[in-house]
Amino acid sequence: METFKMTADEISALNTELAIIPVGSIEQHGPHLPIMTDYAIATELGRRVAEKMGAFLLPTLPISTCREHMGKRGSVWMEPTTFYQMMYDIIMSLKVQGFKRVGIILAHGGIFVATPLVRDLNAKFNPDLKVAFVTPDSVDVTGITETKGLHADETETSEMLVIAPETVHMDRAVDCEPSVPRYYLNYGSIFRAAPDGVWGYPTKATAEKGEKILALSTETIVNEFDRAFDYMDKKERFGYSDF
């Protein structure tokens, strides 16, 4: 169940120390996918992961950082410093309420400020608070998909064929394999490398692949959270630091 649909008393009765924060992005996803794609995927994964881990699930945060998609209307972003402070405040509010573990699910791969955010929180608040995060790169889908992409690709399109098939326009899907590496998004928007805003092969997507990807992603995220929290649980004080 999506616990944010419960009453405050019902949430207290769950008696869980773990909160899950899914984070998406509102950004262009080529001519065939809706701008809510990352939000929709984050929402689905958050629901599945929270159910498996018995966690308190927050509603998905829809907007993050996505300046690499500038050029077409519909993409909406905030500054990395704003995102950092917003997440920091949310997690501090969870800490005050007694949540000792926070798992962040990033469905958008361009939220690079998440790394210093999580490191700072753990450095300041371990062992009283432990924060872990996963990104789309954490899930290896090579055994499911035929191709490896980056954006609006076979993977994301397959997932959306499961989550919201009515929003997917396979007749408009176009494939593109840019001639530059991913880090060139630091030098120009995705449209410089991929004119249609697609990085990968969405024409190879199917709903069958999508369900397998979502199941594998859920399992991977749960395992990664368990591993990260276990690692932090086992740490002993070193000199003056618990980090």
Return the SS3 of 134: strand
Using CB atoms within 10 Å of the CB of residue 217, give its burial: 0 to 12 exposed, 13 to 18 middle, 19+ buried: buried
pLDDT of amino acid 88: 98
Residue 16 sits in a domain whose CATH number is 3.40.50.10310
Does some domain include residue 239?
no
pLDDT of amino acid 1: 73
Does some domain include residue 188?
yes
Does some domain include residue 69?
yes
Does some domain include residue 241?
no
Question: How many domains, in total, are found in the chain?
Answer: 1
List 19's β-bridge partners, or say none: 56, 102
10-66: pLDDT as tens digits: 999 999 999 999 999 999 999 999 999 999 999 999 999 999 999 999 999 999 999
For residues 192-214, average pLDDT:
98
68-103: pLDDT as tens digits: 999 999 999 999 999 999 999 999 999 999 999 999
φ and ψ of 175, to 5 deg = -95, 150
106-152: pLDDT as tens digits: 999 999 999 999 999 999 999 999 999 999 889 999 999 999 999 99
In terms of residue numbers, what domain contains 64?
3-231
Does some domain include residue 243?
no
Reply yes or no on whether the pLDDT at 7 is more than 90: yes
Does some domain include residue 242?
no
> How many beta carbons lie within 10 A of that of residue 132, not counting itself?
21
Enter the pTM of the model: 0.97
